Amino acid sequence: MKKSKLHLCILTSILISSGHAFADEMIRNGQFNGIDGWWTAGGQVSTDDNQACMKITNPGSDPWSVILGHGGVGLAEGETYTISFNAYADVNTQVKTLIQHEGPPYTHYFINDTKISTEKQKFTFEFTQDKPSDAGGEFQFQMGAQKPATVCISDMSIQGKPYVEVVENSPIRHNQLGFLPQADKFIFIASDSKEPLRWTLSNAEGINVDMGRTEPFGTNKASGEGLHRINLSHYKSEMSGLTVAIEDDKGVPFDISSQIYNRLKYDALSYFYQNRSGIEIKPEFVQRDDLARPAGHPSDVVTCFDKQDSWGNDWPGCDFTIDTTGGWYDAGDHGKYVVNSGISTWTLLNLYERGLWLDNAQTPFNSGNVTIPEQGNGVNPLLSEARWNIEFMLAMQIPEGKRVYAPIGNQSSDQSLKLTEIDASNLAFHKIADEAWTGMPLPPHMDTQKRYVGQPSTAATLNLAAIGAQCARIWKEIDPEFSKQCLNAAEKAWQAAEKHPEIYAYDNFNGSGPYGDFELADEIYWAASELFITTGKDSYKQVVVDSPLYLDTPKANLEADGDIFWQYTAPLGTISLAVVESKLDKKEVEKARKAIIETSDNYVSQLANEGYHIPYTVEEYPWGSNSNLVNRGIFLIYANDFTGDTKYIKAAANAMDYVLGANPMNISYITGHGTNAAQNPHHRFWAKAADENYPAPAPGALIGGPNSISFSDPVAAPLKGNCIGQTCYRDNINAWTLNEITINWNAPLVWVASALDEGKLN
């Protein structure tokens, strides 16, 4: 296609800043002012005195068991490069110094077995790239398979001509599925032109049905690009195969249809079945046969962590085992976490409760079209899916009379943990996961790592109390025995959390994330709210109304942490109080609803600030930014439920427009949905990008998306300082800070896709 002035170039690999002092220096932060730009595996790094020291206590059996790595090393064929650094160790040792392709087949471009002594030495290597150019090169010190040591590196440099790949990105962006009939219908065009541009709209037969001129917006602060808009909101009849063209550029086809979210809501819910632990994933319940797999961890019976952690702290284990079989894998790895399970399960159950308690909301997934093993059991499939994880959460509760070791209080650092033996009756273990991070790819049924529960935590225990209470009221008539089990566990968990209010999570073994949280007032308020709604007891009500977070909702400020997520759960309690019938005074219920409406008004007001017309204005885009947009949709749809004003549900649809393609990357962040959908989520089974023998991702997974705060993976690292907000993204399986998928991101996708599919914009 002929290039036009509208085409934008998006760098898909390292971007070189024109203001860099050394234009050909490819190591960012070679002086180790912190760890930014680097990533690690298998060891603990400290960065003092402009050096990185890797403490290796568990060297593993392979060189790559311990790595200090740096991505974004683009090598041009025929060019010469110089690697230099200083290094020493506390014992004589050896590391592999190498540059390789960042993913399979891990082609080596340079490799050297480097002997490091206790005396600091300067190392210099020169090589010529004799293989085809590669923008995806990665530098590594591989330090595993040696005796334990501490290796220190300083003055790291790679100099030479960087190789940069450039691809063209169409300037015409919109929701690639299309629009609901009564929704806003904006088409966005990237252009720096100050003058309106001529556009045409064609139908499926290629006949022009409308034309006009764009409305210049100016610079979109969140992406740094000039934008224009076309407003097609006056089209309300159902049509398919529409396309917009400007000059020589033609957008992808889209529909106006009441059905655009119908398939998506089922695929989004299927994500949970396909990421179940402890059960075979059968071909009759998934979208493609290659997505089926044997059961992962079919007997997940484990004990407490009983080894030395990466900082030298000795964890003594415990004298019992628990059966944690079942539940959902948290993300693309094999860990299961009570805290992230909590908000994810609550979101699915809340969608059901919305249909149960609000007259203007439909009961979700009531058509019988959900394909899971429990279909046909007479229970709403949303509840059947949630129960799979609730039973796992119940299993994570420590039996009566059992004693474990735990760190008490917010201690100064992981290195100085002081462990105390406690009566842990009815506390919840924080997580279960592999002893060490597994490689990529690795489906869960092939995982041979030893698995452990970590420690109990107060946060996990309060999550169990909240979900147990929610479960008890929902299953009261459906399954009275299960309801009683849930309530008994919830109340005992509450009592245990009161007894042990300061047990915080630490990263005590490196096959999992810490999910640490030192502010628990929100979990206390949330759990008390759910228990009060279910039991009506004054003791819980008093905690609710006395909480400093009573009727709390997000303030929609510019900070990236201003949205609900696993570390900020107070609004979950407020939503439940606003929706579910309880003994709370009706005036207080109205206050809760008013708080939700006020938050939603703030979200709606942000539409005007954003070139892509989204209810999301923040200073930086955080890890999982797409989930924040979808979570805001929950508040906006509730505001519509409470007021009847369609401006709120339209704003929720605007957020989905962005997620489905109306963004500067011109990509749908939901796998399998959209003409140009993300294809490479960070997942150990859906790993075709890493190995052709593995499946491409299932449709319906929400990608985390742009992240301008954390650059800790090898793909994201080169973007630091070279991207703006919405452009800090690459569709790459190794980019876990950008391309991760998780249960707590897909749960709000299920919620919003279902509500829009059955809502007032059809």
Residues noted as catalytic: 731, 740
Backbone angles phi, psi at 159, to 5 degrees: -120, 145
Q: Whole-angstrom Cα distance, residue 6 to residue 193?
A: 9
Tokens of 63: 């060189």
**Contact at 8 Å (CB) between 704 and 678?**
no
Q: What is the DSSP letter of 693?
A: T
What is the b/e burial string over 172-198, where b = at least 16 CB atoms within 10 angstroms of the residue's CB?
A: bbbbbbbbbbbbbbbbbbbbeeeeebe
Query: Between β-strands 239-246 and 178-179, what pairing exists: parallel, antiparallel or unpaired?
Result: unpaired
Q: Whole-angstrom Cα distance, residue 44 to residue 68?
A: 10
Cis before residue 216, ω within 30 degrees of 0?
Answer: no
Q: What is the DSSP letter of 205?
A: T
Spatial neighbors of 121 by CB under 8 A, at least 6 apart, are 86, 87, 88
Tokens of 314: 């000795």
- What crossing angle do the helices spanning 743-757 and 646-659 adopt, rounded to 10°? 130
Tokens of 77: 């064929």
Tokens of 543: 């905690």
Spatial neighbors of 317 by CB under 8 A, at least 6 apart, are 303, 304, 305, 306
CA distances from 120 to 33, 43, 50, 88 (A): 19, 21, 14, 5
Alpha helices in 303-362 (DSSP H): 338-357
**Contact at 8 Å (CB) between 595 and 589?**
no
Q: Whole-angstrom Cα distance, residue 656 to residue 659?
A: 5
Q: What angle do CA 747, 744, 676 make, to 5 degrees?
A: 70
The count of other CB atoms within 10 Å of the CB of residue 395 is 18
Backbone angles phi, psi at 17, to 5 degrees: -75, 130
Secondary structure of residue 187 in the 3-state scheme: strand
Q: Whole-angstrom Cα distance, residue 466 to residue 464?
A: 5
Q: What angle do CA 631, 637, 642 make, to 5 degrees?
A: 135
Secondary structure of residue 524 in the 3-state scheme: helix
Tokens of 381: 């499939």
Q: Which of 620, 719, 612, 710 is nearest to 669 (CA)?
A: 612
Q: Whole-angstrom Cα distance, residue 272 to residue 276?
A: 6
Which of 572-575's residues contact partners 24+ apart within 8 Å by CB, and which partners? 572/343, 572/346, 572/350, 572/466, 572/526, 572/529, 573/466, 573/525, 573/526, 573/527, 573/528, 573/529, 573/530, 573/544, 573/549, 574/529, 575/350, 575/634, 575/638
Q: Which of 558, 563, 703, 712 is nearest to 632 (CA)?
A: 563
Q: Whole-angstrom Cα distance, residue 603 to residue 590?
A: 20
Q: Whole-angstrom Cα distance, residue 236 to residue 234?
A: 6
Backbone angles phi, psi at 15, to 5 degrees: -110, 130
Q: Whole-angstrom Cα distance, residue 335 to residue 50?
A: 34
Q: Whole-angstrom Cα distance, residue 42 to residue 213?
A: 57
